[in-house]
Structure 1
Amino acid sequence: MDERVDVERESGLAGLGRTLRHLREKAGKSLGQLAQETAYDKSYLSRLEAGKRLSKMAVMEDLDRYYGSGDLLVQLWKVARHDAFKDKYKEFMRLEATARVMHVFTPGVPGLLQTEEFARGVLSGAQATAGNTEEVDEQVAARMGRQLLLRRDSASNVRFIIDEYAFRRPAATAKTWDDQLLRIEAVALWPNVVLQVLPFATGVHHLMDGSLTLLWQRDGSAVAYKEGNGGGELIDGAEEVLRHRLSYDRLRDLALPPPDSLAFIRGVLEDHRS
């Protein structure tokens, strides 16, 4: 396949939609035929081709197999998923995707560790309405796509510090929470991940009002990203980044060591099941 998208001239979603339409027309298929042969709803496929909907990556894998297009659609989907995020996060996401080292503190379960069902509950929230279902679907798909960062061949070395608060507010259903705890436990054992729990016994601390992410690139450059109260700030000044790194280091020293953190998570899981 020689199809490529000029990302400087069109959005990722538009480029993916254009390519989907081109592949279908090249195959001589109508939308109705495609729907019948792939078992996907016709109106759903139409919205994908119009660039109005972001699918799950598995849909693109299915269509790549159907069209015999290698991994073209999957690669374009990875570009398109960025459109599901607001513009102010795009630069952070670009840097996150190329980071060599990542340090994260969150008061809740980090997006990079959330299961699909847990993420859906978080992203739906109290504002969920019948009219925003598609928007939530797109945000969930984009969040799941971000998690590929942890499992690629050149995966970042990542340290998570998670406030105990995250483990004391379970998901709406028992199975969703069970699956989420198992997910965190599993990731904590990955060789490129260090995970620590910040216990309530620590008391009041300086990052209680939001999350903090530090990213280091291969060339040694670093940025900090703070998020809270509905907004985010990307910080690239060397002195400010250093200040936030020292802030993170102080929190790391207060957190449980990784083995104790893993035991804590397993204890929460056992208590939940009992």
Structure 2
Amino acid sequence: MPGPKDLDPSSSPRALLGAELRHARERKGLSQDQLGHRLFVSGSFIGQLEAGTRRMQPDCARMLDEALETDGFFQRNCGAAAKSKFEEHFEAVAEAEAQATAIREYTPLLIPGLLQTRAYAQAVNRAHDPMAPEETIEEWTEGRMERVRLLDHPTKPLLWAVLDEASLRRETGGRAVMAEVLRHVAGLARRNRAIVQVLPFSAGAHAAMQSDLKLMEFADAPPLVYHEGVRTGRVEDDPATVAHLRFRYDLLVASALSRDKSLALLEALAEDYAHEEHP
């Protein structure tokens, strides 16, 4: 039987690599758990590789080639599948977003990337690195806008965002930029393309005061959670950790304003910014 063909890097290489992994595993008659045992990883990790929600590392590719007798196929192709326009710490989560059926997110100090406008993203990126060349800022911003285009699909992924009131009142990029981005978010909510709630200052102490939250669900892979810091981030799939952070997210939702009240606040603040009034 001929071996798998090398992948075309232009055609969703991570998804293709995952599909080849599934075919190679099934040809050997192994379950995900059995293959994971040979690689000293969980069966769910193998499932995430097959679904394209995890990036295959070179050491993992080498062990897969040995376990599945694929003549170096995964080692040759994992480099192409790893190519990304995102910073290294964010590559995995950007790929996972593209495969997710549902994304739930809370950010304490800024509007989440999937809800940003180009001008707002540019302001955030410039603040992130004031000395970066303009072409670098544009590259980062275009990467952000590529993620935003996930919402061009009319129904998927489900996006549920809890916005901290601080992110709405922190003037990022100027008042005109804030008016535009808040109107954009409100428009997504009005078109039922995103569920948006605001966590008001009046909620007081809450379940995610020390961090942001991003939870992602998939049709054919276990859920993931992503933690982000300054120029760092990590993806976790431990079921107990994911369940605990989903509970925290549910607590945030319970403390947030209703969808109608959140929409009213977004639109009122947008009008205030547009008319150069103090919110």
What is the TM-score normalised by the length of structure 1?
0.67
Task: After TM superposition, list the pairs within 5 Å mapping 1:123-162 onto structure 2.
Answer: 123-125=125-127, 127-129=129-131, 131-152=132-153, 155-162=156-163
CA offset digits 1:202-255 (Å, max 9, x no partner) = 112232233211111012620111113442121101111101100110111000
Unmatched runs of 5 consecutive residues or more in structure 1: 13-78
How big is the alpha-carbon RMSD for the aligned residues of Structure 1 and Structure 2?
A: 2.6
Q: Which residue of 2 aligns with 1:41?
A: none
CA offset digits 1:80-124 (Å, max 9, x no partner) = 9x7221222222122110111111111111111111111101001
Q: For 1:152 and 1:162, how far apart are their aligned partners in 2?
A: 22
Q: After alignment, is 118-127 or 196-205 more displaced?
A: 118-127
Among 109, 112, 129, the alignment partner of 2:111 is 109
Q: Which amino acid aligns with 1:90?
A: E
CA offset digits 1:45-102 (Å, max 9, x no partner) = xxxxxxxxxxxxxxxxxxxxxxxxxxxxxxxxxx99x722122222212211011111
Q: For 2:105 and 2:160, how far apart are their aligned partners in 1?
A: 6
Among 96, 109, 124, the alignment partner of 1:122 is 124
Are 1:209 and 1:228, in contact at CA under 8 Å, matched by a contact in 2?
A: no
Task: After TM superposition, list the pairs within 5 Å mapping 1:1-274 onto structure 2.
Answer: 6-7=8-9, 83-107=84-108, 108-125=110-127, 127-129=129-131, 131-152=132-153, 155-219=156-220, 221-272=222-273, 273=275, 274=277
Distance 1:215 1:174, change over 3 A: same
Are 2:179 and 2:269, in contact at CA under 8 Å, matched by a contact in 1?
A: no
Q: For 1:172 and 1:112, how far apart are their aligned partners in 2?
A: 17
Q: For 1:220 and 1:175, how far apart are their aligned partners in 2?
A: 41
Q: Which amino acid aligns with 1:91?
A: A
Are 2:163 and 2:199, in contact at CA under 8 Å, matched by a contact in 1?
A: yes
Are 1:158 and 1:192, in contact at CA under 8 Å, matched by a contact in 2?
A: yes
Are 2:107 and 2:164, in contact at CA under 8 Å, matched by a contact in 1?
A: yes
Are 2:206 and 2:255, in contact at CA under 8 Å, matched by a contact in 1?
A: no
CA offset digits 1:21-60 (Å, max 9, x no partner) = xxxxxxxxxxxxxxxxxxxxxxxxxxxxxxxxxxxxxxxx
Are 2:102 and 2:156, in contact at CA under 8 Å, matched by a contact in 1?
A: no
Unmatched runs of 5 consecutive residues or more in structure 2: 1-5, 15-79
Does the residue aligned with 2:111 lie in a helix, a strand or coil?
A: coil
CA offset digits 1:3-22 (Å, max 9, x no partner) = x97329xx99xxxxxxxxxx
Structure 1 outlier segments of 4+, above 4 Å:
none
CA offset digits 1:142-197 (Å, max 9, x no partner) = 10010111112562111000000011112333322221121111111232311000
Does the residue aligned with 1:83 lie in a helix, a strand or coil?
A: coil
What is the TM-score normalised by the length of structure 2?
0.66
Fraction of identical pairs, as percent: 28
Are 2:225 and 2:237, in contact at CA under 8 Å, matched by a contact in 1?
A: yes
Name the count of aligned residue pairs: 202
